[in-house]
Amino acid sequence: MPLSANTLSYEFDEEEIGFGKPQVAQTAHAQPLSGGLKFSLAMVAVGLLSLIVQTAGGLLAGSWLGLALSLGLLAVGAALAFWLQHRGSVAGIKHDGIYFSGLMARGGAAWIAGIGMTALYVLIYWFPQVLGQPVDGAGPTGLIRVVDPLARVMTGYPAEKWFLYGVLYTGAILVFGVRMMMKYRHNRYQQIRTASVAFFQLIFAWFLPNLL
Amino acid sequence: MLLPVGRHAWLTSSCAGGPKTVHVVIIGNGITGATAALELRQLDHDCKITMISGESKYHYARPALMYIFMGHMSYQDTKPHADHIWEEQRIDLVRDWITGIDTDAKQLALHKGGDLGYDKLLIATGAKSNKFDWPGQDLKGVQGLYDLPDLQRLHETVQRTRQAVIVGGGLIGIELAEMLHSCGLPVTFLVREDSYWNNILPAEESRMVSRLIREAGFGLKLETGLKEIEGDDSGRACAVITDTDERIECQLVGLTAGVSPNKDTAIDTGRGVFVDWSLRTNVPDVLAAGDCAEIVTEGDARNLLQQVWYTGKRQARIAAQVLAGREAIYDPGIWYNSAKFLDLEYHTYGQVNLCVPDEQNLYWEHANGNHSIRIVYLQDRVIGINTMGVRFHHRVCEAWIAEQRPLDYVLEHLADANFDPEFFRRFEAHATAQFKEALV
């Protein structure tokens, strides 16, 4: 039987050991971040810090500038980062590494994000006062106060937890919509679908209900 | 649909004085072996079925090897069946290599020791990557991409790899290139032909693929063959020398110049294990099917070697019928295949680029060079269809070819074959207009 010694000695346990991320000698594509990407991620960092500061009642809390420098910077920075990340790649399905990525494959970053987002829902439903929900005629404080200027203009009332939730949810749809459009620029169906979702969320699920 | 035969086991076990249970052994747990085993169990609830493989514990899908490497799927995801069904269907799995077949005594020699007797045998050992006696082809870091050992070897080799060379241009070559590209390794192709895979792809489609390969940043050396692989002191490949005497440094050499059947020498073989149209070899009670089998044809027609997934499955079903004691003849049907060259999808149906005498071609390509439709016809009957970057439905194209539809009919109904996602631009009307102009 013409089986080589090499073949006969193969005893790898594919079930137990399996296959992890290929480690190359020198990652040829380990480029440092581009200038644009550094700038956009810096915006994300500053926006996040500003949000934390304002939530604690610090500088600019409850002002338009405060809103722009926190949620505004976060959204624009993230959207820009997504655009820059995918701009260089050839259009097409790119699931490379999703099984190795901590964020995509139940790693540490995913756990943090999951617990964090779930905790936010718990706070909104059961402990809104932690987020700064207005009580007994007093204005909003904390995180809810950050979106107060926008709430007064749109609804005519001070901000409360559901307005905050709407801003965060709609913002997420729009920012991650940018990522989706970039990832699926080879697929016209996904482009149209994403644009449709973003439009209906922004106008029919946020703008109009708040206005009326 | 699988019947839960496990519960009936105690009812059908052979007892003293009754007929002896037939023992069917299948060598190989690829798509052919696995399909034959499951199909045979549906046809014969009583026989003992043993499936042997040294490669993996369970059947898994080899075409998905590239997705495991690139992190699109885990190994477990590539197994088409849940692990428990083998026991449920009473198919015994043995993890071992067969080192010899004694067809007179009907015994198989196992590498880990001992013998396994059989009453009927199916050889489904698959194929192996071609090696054409290149000096240095057995150095470390030189390998094909066909099975799990290749994948495991690849994981080991890339740890020491900064550049890679791929010898041979075809489907596996482009897959390997994509895999290496995904972890940042520069790749150079050595392709003997003057255009990528142009023994199968017609000139225009081949040119499209060659262009895409270059646009993706791969080196593509056409009309260049491999002369020698250089090794360093530790027995590892460190460079290749082409037949134009160019030296290219690399630590990984992918051999993707086609595959050849994995065959045994005790049975009549040519390139593959010779079988008839019922997949029987020259030895009684021994069959062969799948990548390893070569179906002997009458007269001048070439013997049939089919080395893709669906033909393995089809041949396995015939083999299972014969193993169950029934008569069955293998019908290859109308050829079809589908693959992806990086991000470009390719479909082929029927006879394309086979130089059928008096055949004619109609070819349309989009101005952006990423979509094309080709219709091959013979005396006004459509015999083959190729598409690049356009999804044509297999059943529709197969029906057109099987029913020998005239060219006019196909051109009129061309849009019926399209199953691109919603909102995708459709090009059939444009292509048909161009075809009709060309025909005038």
Tell me, what CATH number does B287's domain have? 3.50.50.60
CB hemisphere CA count around A116 (13 angstroms): 6
Q: State the virtual CA torsion across B10, B15, B19, B23 in degrees, nearest 10.
A: 60
pLDDT over threshold 60, residue A12 = yes
- Let me know if residue B6 belongs to a domain: no
Using a CB–CB cutoff of 8 Å, tell me whether A126 touches chain B: no
Structural domain containing residue A142? 35-85+129-211
Residue B343 DSSP label: T
- Let me know if residue A145 belongs to a domain: yes
Mean pLDDT throughout A17-42?
83
Task: Spell out the residues 6+ positions from residue A173 whose beta carbon is closer than 8 angstroms to its own.
Answer: A197, A198, A201, A202
pLDDT over threshold 90, residue A75 = yes
pLDDT tens-place string over residues B191-222:
999 999 999 999 999 999 999 999 999 999 99
- Tell me what pLDDT residue B9 has: 40
Residues B59, B78, single domain; the answer is yes
pLDDT over threshold 80, residue A57 = yes
pLDDT tens-place string over residues A169-196:
999 999 999 999 999 999 999 999 999 9
pLDDT band at A136 (very low <50, low <70, confident <90, very high): confident
- Let me know if residue A49 belongs to a domain: yes
Q: Which residues of A touch B425 (CB under 8 A)?
A: 188
| Residues of chain B below pLDDT 50 | 1-15
- Tell me what pLDDT residue B5 has: 47
pLDDT tens-place string over residues B37-74:
999 999 999 999 999 999 999 999 999 999 999 999 99
The Cα B325–Cα B287 span in angstroms is: 12
The Cα B8–Cα B42 span in angstroms is: 13
- Tell me what pLDDT residue B127 has: 93
Using a CB–CB cutoff of 8 Å, tell me whether A88 touches chain B: no
Using a CB–CB cutoff of 8 Å, tell me whether A100 touches chain B: yes
Q: Which residues of A touch B389 (CB under 8 A)?
A: none
CB contact under 8 A, B184 and A100: no
Give contacts of A 2-41 with B, CB under 8 A: 2-3, 7-8, 10, 12, 14-15, 18-30
pLDDT over threshold 90, residue A89 = no
Boundary of a domain, candidates B235, B257, B279: B257
- Let me know if residue A205 belongs to a domain: yes
Domains contained in chain B, number: 3
- Tell me what pLDDT residue B82 has: 97
CB hemisphere CA count around B207 (13 angstroms): 6
CB contact under 8 A, A14 and B75: yes
Q: How far is CA B415 from CA B373, B412, B419, in A?
A: 12, 8, 9
Residues B158, B208, single domain; the answer is yes
Q: Which residues of A touch B182 (CB under 8 A)?
A: 96-97
Q: What's the gap in Å between the CA of A31 and the closest CA on chain B?
A: 10
- Let me know if residue B2 belongs to a domain: no
- Tell me what pLDDT residue B2 has: 46
Boundary of a domain, candidates B323, B351, B375: B323
- Tell me what pLDDT residue B265 has: 55
Average pLDDT, chain A: 91
Using a CB–CB cutoff of 8 Å, tell me whether B271 touches chain A: no
- Tell me what pLDDT residue B203 has: 96
Structural domain containing residue B148? 142-257
Query: Which of A1-10, A109-118, B233-242 has the least mean pLDDT?
Result: A1-10
Q: Which residues of A touch B155 (CB under 8 A)?
A: 19-20, 22
And the tokens for B266? 């005790």
Residue in A8, A21, A92 closest to B343 by CB: A92
- Tell me what pLDDT residue B15 has: 46
